[in-house]
Amino acid sequence: MAASVLDLELVFSRPETTLSVTRGAARLMRDMGYAPLLEVCLPNGRRADVMALGSKGDIVICEVKSGVEDYRVDRKWQEYGPFCDAFYFAVAPEFPQAILPDEPGLIVADGFGGAVVRAAPTTPLAPARRKALTLAFARLGALRASG
């Protein structure tokens, strides 16, 4: 017996999920008053999926997890803390949130926006590191805007 359209579960491939969650997390950051950039290289060679600069100079990083496998095999997120004031995981609504650690913040997002499920603890950056990161962020944004 064939399944009806209503019985089918909508399943995204990992690239589609990653794109959708990244877009939603960036839109949420904008809604929260931050200026986000996607795929930002950090001084330690890691790449932040979403890095956002607040109006008071605070820096937030969101690490997008497209699925359970992505979370289990990728532990580089633990190296982002020294480069932000607050760190969030961003996941799709169907992601099993119970497998994530309690310490980082948590955002649930889709292609249209997102919501903070758990606020991230804040650890202020040292002034010299904040200045260096802010300058690098500004330069990257300007270079991307200029084509």
- pTM score, whole prediction: 0.89
Quote the pLDDT of residue 61.
Answer: 98
The dihedral of CA 123, 128, 129, 132: what is its sign? Answer: positive
pLDDT (tens, 9 = 90+) of the chain, 147 residues, equals 444 444 434 444 589 999 999 999 999 999 999 999 999 999 999 999 999 999 999 999 999 999 999 999 988 999 999 999 999 999 999 999 999 999 999 999 999 999 999 999 999 999 999 999 999 999 999 999 998
